[in-house]
């Protein structure tokens, strides 16, 4: 049994402690926002936050989040960043967007003064998206950072 908080709710999960967090979120808790992309922690589609830091849930074993706070895209509600993504039509297929949203939230909280170059580096290193909406994603993030959203 592993105890943790998911989206603010205390949860006890009775599965093998080595199970990837992503599988627990999707299969046991019904939280489908984080997606399985590569399964090796390189694409970012499975990104969630653990104690405010972005992690790849596909490579994070359940035991490592015991007694920690996990936040998924379902736990964020309708905030300025999500609204900016909608306003800028930043999601084409939508598969990777929950991971990008969670990663960008953590990045912005941890590096509030980051410039566009740092943001681009972060996105290119942590999130793969084949839809080609990168400029829309950047525009949405810029609006939020500048308080326009």
pTM above 0.75, yes or no: yes
Domain layout of the chain by residue ranges:
2-73, 80-145
Q: Over its length of 149 residues, how does the chain's per-residue pLDDT go in tens digits?
A: 999 999 999 999 999 999 999 999 999 999 999 999 999 999 999 999 999 999 999 999 999 999 999 999 999 988 899 999 999 999 888 899 999 999 999 999 999 988 999 999 999 999 988 888 889 999 999 999 888 65
Tell me the fold of 2-73: Ubiquitin-like (UB roll) (3.10.20)
Report which of 67, 35, 37, 29 is spatially closest to residue 50, judged by C-alpha positions: 67
Report pLDDT for 93.
87
CA 98 to chain centre: 6
In sign, the C-alpha dihedral spanning 69, 108, 125, 131 is positive
Buried b (16+ CB within 10 A) or exposed e, 3-40: ebbbbeeeeebeeeeebbbbbbbbeebebebbbebeee
Q: Classify domain 80-145 by CATH architecture.
A: Orthogonal Bundle (1.10)
Residue 124 is inside which H or E element, if any?
A: helix 116-126
Report which of 76, 77, 63, 72 is spatially closest to residue 4, judged by C-alpha positions: 63
| DSSP state letter for 89 | T
């Amino acid at each position: 049994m592993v105890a943790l908080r998911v989206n603010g709710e205390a949860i006890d999960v009775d599965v093998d402690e080595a199970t990837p967090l992503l599988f627990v979120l999707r299969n046991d808790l019904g939280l489908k926002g984080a997606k399985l992309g590569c399964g090796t922690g390189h694409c970012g589609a499975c990104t969630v936050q653990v104690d405010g830091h972005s992690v790849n849930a596909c490579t994070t074993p359940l035991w490592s989040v015991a007694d920690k706070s996990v936040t998924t895209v379902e736990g964020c509600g309708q905030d300025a960043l999500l609204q900016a993504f909608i306003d800028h039509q930043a999601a084409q297929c939508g598969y990777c967007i929950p991971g990008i949203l969670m990663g960008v939230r953590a990045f912005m909280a941890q590096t509030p003064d980051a410039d566009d170059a740092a943001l681009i580096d972060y996105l290119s290193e942590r999130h793969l998206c084949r839809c080609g909406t990168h400029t829309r994603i950047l525009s949405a993030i810029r609006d939020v950072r500048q308080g326009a959203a």
